Amino acid sequence: MKIKTADFETSASSLDTCPAPTLPELAFIGRSNVGKSSLINMLSGRRGQLAKVSSTPGKTRLINFFQIDGLWRLVDLPGYGYAKLSKKTRDIFRDFVTEYLTQRENLLGVLVLIDSRIPPQELDLDYITWLGEVEVPFALVFTKADKLSKSATEKTVKKFFTALAERIEGQPDYFITSSKDGTGKSELLGYIGENLWGN
């Protein structure tokens, strides 16, 4: 699959202000600074333009909708685990994202982004476990693979799945990516295409 056009559509701060649920949506979530916006730019081929890449973590505080080829939407969810925000602000984001993930009727699935440079984090493991519990389909995307050697990345992935196996059954689909050098782009787009249109 190839993305021909990608356009920012709107931002929403509550379920009511999300665009009409007319197109299938694929959401991206992960800890703040994990590389969600960069991945969206990489996939859409509009590096550095479409989704705002943070110089300070936690910039994405709204749900951002991008319309792809006029046929589906890529959805950039606010990063979780941004410690510098007040608890109240974090709670508001969390409730909104929870509502979006559990109530959005046109949500096809979620890509959970994981930083491939760091050991398994409780926050990521908890989030994935929760997605399983609420039965939201998901796949994992290990980001920033350009920062490590191939074997070091594979080691982190292995460690992550060992930790995850203590919590959930089965191994989710996963991808290793770099928004910097394009690693994993065609694999991930192929997967997205299969899940959106079954081809």
Positions in the binding site for Mg ion (CB under 5 A): 36-37, 60
Q: Residue length, the chain?
A: 199
- Does 116 interact with ligand GTP (rule: CB under 6 A)? no
What distance in Å separates the CA atoms of residue 21 and residue 72, rounded to the nearest whole number?
A: 10
- Judged by CB under 6 A, the number of residues near ligand GTP is 22
Minimum distance, C-beta of residue 38 to ligand GTP, in the bound complex (Å): 3
Nearer to ligand GTP, 36 or 73 (CB): 36
The sheet with strand 107-115 has its strands ordered as: 6-12, 63-68, 72-76, 25-30, 107-115, 138-143, 174-176
The interface partner of residue 150, options being Mg ion, ligand GTP, none and the CB cut-off 5 to 8 Å by kind, is: none
> Quick one: DSSP state of residue 56?
S
Minimum distance, C-beta of residue 25 to Mg ion, in the bound complex (Å): 17
In the chain the first and final C-alpha atoms are separated, in Å, by 9
Nearer to Mg ion, 60 or 153 (CB): 60
- Does 10 interact with ligand GTP (rule: CB under 6 A)? no
Tell me if 140 sits within 8 A of 171, measured CB to CB: no
What distance in Å separates the CA atoms of residue 80 and residue 5, rounded to the nearest whole number?
A: 28
- Does 44 interact with ligand GTP (rule: CB under 6 A)? no
Minimum distance, C-beta of residue 50 to ligand GTP, in the bound complex (Å): 11
- Does 153 interact with ligand GTP (rule: CB under 6 A)? no
Q: Which stretch binds ligand GTP (CB under 6 A): 104-112, 118-126, 127-135, 174-182?
A: 174-182
- 144, exposed or middle or buried, with CB in 10 Å at 0-12, 13-18, 19+? buried
- Does 155 interact with ligand GTP (rule: CB under 6 A)? no
What distance in Å separates the CA atoms of residue 29 and residue 37, rounded to the nearest whole number?
A: 10
- Interface with ligand GTP by CB under 6 A: which residues? 30, 32-38, 53-54, 57-60, 79, 143-144, 146-147, 178-180
